[in-house]
């Protein structure tokens, strides 16, 4: 299969960074294409992002203090005036509206950082000070005040810092999926399972070879996240290195919903971090970030020691948590640029005027609205004609979620399409109608269904809905059940048919 395709701007990487740049460009009369090696959007760093955006305030100050206590003494920490933080504060102000346009569920989440001893209180004081420098006055809470808001927190807490307004909680894959659906409606081509295998400069632009064909592009945007070095290398413009670290996260059963009402985290402490986040679906998400170094960009293996440590740290904050409540665990790769660990790479490459790097480091998603505009501006500077398109359509409606509909609405939906009345995933109350709709919107795998509908994210982890989802995928895609995959490629779920191994073929 070798199609010959042409575009003005080729974005390599369909994570939220690449998709946001595409969205910005789609507002102009520019031909844009996005390619990604994975079988679905957002399957790189996006998928395992924490799902928080914060403006100036506690979370931001906390991460600065964390760096100052966890890095060797004398290491430079963030300058509160640096570009990244300016962009984050700006992006934070825009995110709510953007999420609403894209029908991405989100909510404001308060955060309390709690201290148990004098050293931790001191670090909270530093955080409060940094936050003040950034323009946000945080609220100090005494023990009783903390327990009044979060009654299940460890009673030995001595003090805490509260931030009510500077944190948004959402699901990062919701964002990527919504962006992609809207981009397709706006005429942007997104080619998945398209691994870039070679690149050559040609006539001012590039010829890019992918596993699905050759693409001629005037401009290339490197939004390949932790494969950023590989892409730059192929184009002959690599002048940076990337460092990879990973952190392991746990998801706790929904039966704990209400155990904490907002994010509860440990005050910055050398060697220990712990953040407990209630999620939109009522689970508790534990981040015990240790950011361990790794060379393996594709690492997915979890580690028992990290699981145990995460639970122990979580129990120090909220004693009622138990390892028996864990329903899922996963690791997320994070990227840090070596050139300037504190900044994102949003730049025209010094080695080629039509190659731009858009590699964002954690925390990253909040900066994307201004970052996408910056990349667009840079493209303009490099000669890309930017004429506004009046027919850019910013809105997208998500798949209706029956579990969230009022009875009357739900009844109406079922009357229109009875499949919305047939519940397939019992743990998350997901209907057949939602699954079929997800497939019509691009889901091709069990994982694709999972991220679009939540089917399979519940406590039984596909024990009951698994066979139903495989059957529906097989039916809707017109492929035998033995061809349905978990996450694309060679990840077939069912290897053989009944009797195949004992001489009787079906």
Where on the chain is the footprint of other proteins (CB under 8 A)?
Answer: 255, 298, 300-304, 307, 323-324, 326-330, 402-403, 407, 410-411, 414-415, 418-419, 421-423, 426-427, 429, 431, 459-464, 466-467, 471, 481-482, 485-487, 489-504, 506
Nearer Cβ to other proteins, position 82 or 301? 301
CA angle 287, 303, 458 (to 5 degrees): 60
Minimum CB distance to other proteins, residue 293 (Å): 18
Nearer Cβ to other proteins, position 379 or 465? 465
What are the φ/ψ torsions at residue 247 (nearest 5 degrees)?
-135, 155
From 48, 45, 54, 49, select the one nearest 113 (Cα to Cα). 54
CA angle 384, 387, 389 (to 5 degrees): 130
Minimum CB distance to other proteins, residue 303 (Å): 5
CA 92 to chain centre: 16
From 410, 380, 132, 112, select the one nearest 266 (Cα to Cα). 112
Minimum CB distance to other proteins, residue 215 (Å): 26
Minimum CB distance to other proteins, residue 205 (Å): 35
Q: Are 142 and 157 in contact (CB under 8 A)?
A: no
Burial class (CB in 10 A: 0-12, 13-18, 19+), 301: exposed
The set of residues, in sequence order, having a beta carbon less than 8 Å from that of 309 and lying 6+ positions away, is 288, 290
Nearer Cβ to other proteins, position 393 or 492? 492
Nearer Cβ to other proteins, position 173 or 219? 173
CA angle 228, 231, 232 (to 5 degrees): 85
What single DSSP character describes residue 324?
A: G
Nearer Cβ to other proteins, position 393 or 422? 422
Minimum CB distance to other proteins, residue 404 (Å): 12
Nearer Cβ to other proteins, position 154 or 329? 329
From 62, 13, 54, 6, select the one nearest 30 (Cα to Cα). 6
Tell me how far apart the alpha carbons of residues 45 and 51 are, in angstroms, rounded to a whole number.
11
Minimum CB distance to other proteins, residue 407 (Å): 6
Where is 364: in which H helix or E strand?
none
Nearer Cβ to other proteins, position 71 or 415? 415
Minimum CB distance to other proteins, residue 88 (Å): 31
From 422, 405, 506, select the one nearest 469 (Cα to Cα). 422
* Distance in angstroms between the alpha carbons of the first and the last residue of the chain: 32
Minimum CB distance to other proteins, residue 409 (Å): 10
Nearer Cβ to other proteins, position 81 or 496? 496
Minimum CB distance to other proteins, residue 478 (Å): 15
Nearer Cβ to other proteins, position 292 or 460? 460
How is residue 364 written in tokens? Answer: 């990253």
Q: Are 331 and 300 in contact (CB under 8 A)?
A: yes
């Amino acid at each position: 299969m070798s199609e010959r395709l042409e575009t003005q701007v080729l974005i390599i990487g369909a994570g939220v960074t690449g998709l946001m740049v595409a969205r910005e460009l789609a507002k102009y009369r520019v031909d844009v294409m996005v390619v990604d090696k994975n079988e679905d959007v957002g399957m790189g760093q996006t998928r395992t992002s924490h799902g928080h955006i914060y403006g100036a305030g506690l979370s931001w100050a906390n991460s600065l203090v964390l760096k100052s206590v966890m890095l060797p003494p004398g290491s430079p920490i963030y300058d509160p005036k640096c570009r990244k933080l300016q962009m984050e504060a700006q992006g934070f102000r825009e995110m709510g509206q953007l999420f609403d346009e894209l029908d991405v569920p989100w909510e404001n989440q308060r955060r309390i950082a709690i201290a148990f001893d004098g050293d931790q209180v001191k670090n909270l004081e530093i955080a409060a000070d940094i936050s003040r420098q950034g323009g946000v006055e945080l609220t100090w809470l005494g023990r009783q005040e903390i327990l009044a808001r979060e009654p299940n927190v460890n009673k030995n807490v001595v003090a805490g810092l509260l931030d009510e307004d500077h944190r948004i909680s959402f699901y990062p894959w919701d964002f990527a999926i919504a962006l992609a659906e809207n981009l397709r409606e706006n005429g942007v081509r997104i080619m998945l399972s398209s691994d870039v295998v070679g690149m050559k400069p040609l006539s001012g632009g590039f010829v890019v070879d992918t596993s699905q064909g050759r693409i001629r592009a005037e401009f290339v945007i490197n939004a390949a996240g932790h494969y950023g070095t590989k892409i730059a290398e192929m184009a002959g413009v690599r002048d940076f290195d990337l460092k990879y670290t990973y952190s392991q996260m746990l998801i706790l059963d929904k039966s704990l919903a209400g155990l904490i009402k907002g994010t509860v985290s440990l005050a910055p402490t050398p060697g220990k971090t712990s953040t407990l986040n209630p999620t939109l679906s009522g689970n508790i998400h534990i981040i015990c970030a240790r950011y361990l170094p790794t060379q393996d960009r594709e690492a997915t293996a979890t580690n028992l020691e990290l699981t145990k440590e995460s639970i122990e740290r979580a129990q120090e904050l909220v004693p009622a948590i138990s390892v028996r409540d864990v329903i899922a665990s996963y690791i997320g790769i994070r990227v840090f640029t070596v050139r300037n660990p504190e900044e994102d790479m949003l730049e025209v490459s010094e080695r080629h005027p039509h190659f731009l790097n858009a590699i964002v480091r954690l925390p990253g998603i909040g900066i994307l609205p201004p970052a996408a505009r910056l990349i667009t501006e840079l493209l303009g500077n490099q000669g890309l004609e930017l004429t506004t398109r009046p027919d850019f359509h910013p809105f997208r409606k998500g798949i209706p979620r029956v579990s969230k509909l009022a009875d009357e609405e739900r009844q109406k939906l079922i009357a229109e399409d009875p499949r919305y009345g047939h519940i397939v995933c019992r743990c998350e109350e997901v209907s057949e109608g939602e699954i079929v709709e997800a497939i019509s919107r691009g889901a091709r795998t069990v994982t694709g269904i999972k991220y679009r509908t939540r089917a399979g994210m519940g406590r039984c982890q596909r024990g009951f809905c698994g066979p139903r989802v495989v059957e529906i995928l097989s039916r809707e895609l017109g492929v035998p059940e033995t061809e349905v995959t978990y996450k694309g490629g060679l990840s077939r779920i069912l290897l053989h048919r009944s009797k195949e191994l004992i001489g009787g073929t079906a």
